[in-house]
Every structure is written in structure tokens, then in C-alpha cells.
Amino acid sequence: MRIGIQLPEVEREVRWHEYAATAKAAEEVGFDSIWVGDHYLYRDDGRPERGPWEAWTMLAALAGITSRVSLGPLVACLGFHEPAVLAKMAATVDEVSGGRLVLGVGAGWNQTEFDAFGIPYDHRVARFEESYEIVRRLLDGERVTFRGSYAHVDDAVLLPSPTRRPKLMIGSSGNRMLAATLPTVDVWNTWFDEYGNSLEDYAALRDRIGDACSSAGRDPADVERSVCVLVAVGDGVGERSTPDGIEPIGGSMRQVSDQLSGLADLGVAEVIIVADPINERSVRELGEVVAPLREP
């Protein structure tokens, strides 16, 4: 099993030097991947107004200071960019990183940021379906002409030609989103609140995704499983706001190790730890768990 970690998002205001130190620490202690959220603005949820740095600029910078870890957006909202432009951005980050990008994609959900930044929020899944086809085909090396209800390109091509198509990951459990992506994606990812952060509920969700793979004409074994896990490091500090009823794994590194081992037994290929708090110290402490569980 591979183990990744999400870098800070809006738990507090974090500047570049801390991102860089945390990413370097993650690579040093043995994490396989690092991830950044793709959001612009949070407000109106009872907490102060806040927002993270722009994800693709951050990924390019992180690619330049790391050498081994995979990296990607968790997940990229296809509605934030014209699809051909996003494909160009993804190909560039993959080139800069030496082929380490995993392109996680989704439709977005936080209407506040769509409205504030002038991005259409209507028909999100329909817009995603059209954008996904354009992005995928361009990254596959195709010359693409496509005219949909919301997106169009005319003889678009990526030059210089990408050296490979980045691994594609869908970050959704919605039936329509799965139908649109499971025929072609490499990985399916779920956030911790979609399965209650528990092994029992994940097993049920895994079985539903397996059925969706079969319905899409894919062998479920051909689509990797990626699972986000909420982990309290030490006593935790409550930096991350979580839905009611979701309990972080924690209390001891043994409990964290047992949870990750249980997910491995359920066929998970990669666990992405969402740590509370998320800082360099937490990353180094979690490194004690990572080494024994990583793929040989």
C-alpha cells in the first residue's frame, strides 16, 4: 500500500516556507505522495473567511523542490478552468515533476467560491462530463474538436507533446460522475466523510463502487482504490472542521497503523492521510507509521 498526505489548506494561514518544509519532510520520512486542495474561498460556515493558495501554482512549486513523491490536486475542480487550458496545465506540471502528477478531478461543491470568482455553478455534472472528455483526450495525445452545451474546442492539441498521460483519479461517489469516468480513470478516491472514516462503512462503499465499475464495463480490480483518512496526531487541536458524527483516527500511532492496515486488507491501494494538526511535526511523527506499511 502507498501512503500519502494532504498538505495544509485552510486550517490556518500557511505561507510558502511552511508548505516547502512540510513537503520536504513528507518525502524525507517516506510518504509516497503529497496533495493540495483545489479551492478558492470559504465563508458563511460560522468560521472566519479564509482561502488557500492557488493549487496549480503550488503544485508546480512543490514539483521543483521534491524529487520522489507523487503529487496532485485533491481534487481539481474542472469547472475552475477551460478544459483545454487545464489539460495544458496538467501536462506542464507532469513535465516539471518528471512524470509524478496524479490528476484527481471532480465537479466542485462549494458554491461560495464559484459565485465569488464568477464561475458558473449551474449544471455542474453536465459541465464536468464535457470538460472531462476534452481533458482526457488531450492528455491521451489526441487532436480534439468538441462542441458541447458548455465547452468546446476546435482542433486543440497539446504541444510540446506530453511524454505520458498522467494517472487519472475521480474524486466522487455520485452515480452520474462514476458513469462518466469509470470507463477510463485509473483511480477512484473517496473523502473520509463519505464513508464515516470507518472500516465497516468503507467496505460497503467499496462494494458499491465495484458494482459501478462492472456497470461501466470495467473489471473492478482494474480501478485502484484511494481513500482519505482523518487522523488526529497527538492530542489534536481541532484545526480542521469536520461534519458531525465523524471521528478522527488517533490516540496512538498503533491505532493509526491498525486503521491503515485494515484498509490495505480491504484492497485499498493508497491511503491519503488528512492530519489534524497538519504541520511538519505531525508529518514526522506519522513517518513512524508510514515506513512499515509502505509497498516494498
* Model confidence pLDDT, tens digit, residues 170-195: 999 999 999 999 999 999 999 999 99
What is the pTM (predicted TM-score) of this model?
A: 0.96
What per-residue confidence (pLDDT) applies to 171? 98
Query: Percent of the chain, pLDDT > 70?
Result: 98
What per-residue confidence (pLDDT) applies to 236? 65
Dump pLDDT digits (tens) for 11-49: 999 999 999 999 999 999 999 999 999 999 999 777 889
The rounded radius of gyration (Å) of the Cα atoms in the chain is 18
What per-residue confidence (pLDDT) applies to 104? 98
pLDDT grade for 68, boundaries at 50, 70 and 90: very high
pLDDT grade for 127, boundaries at 50, 70 and 90: very high
What per-residue confidence (pLDDT) applies to 295? 61
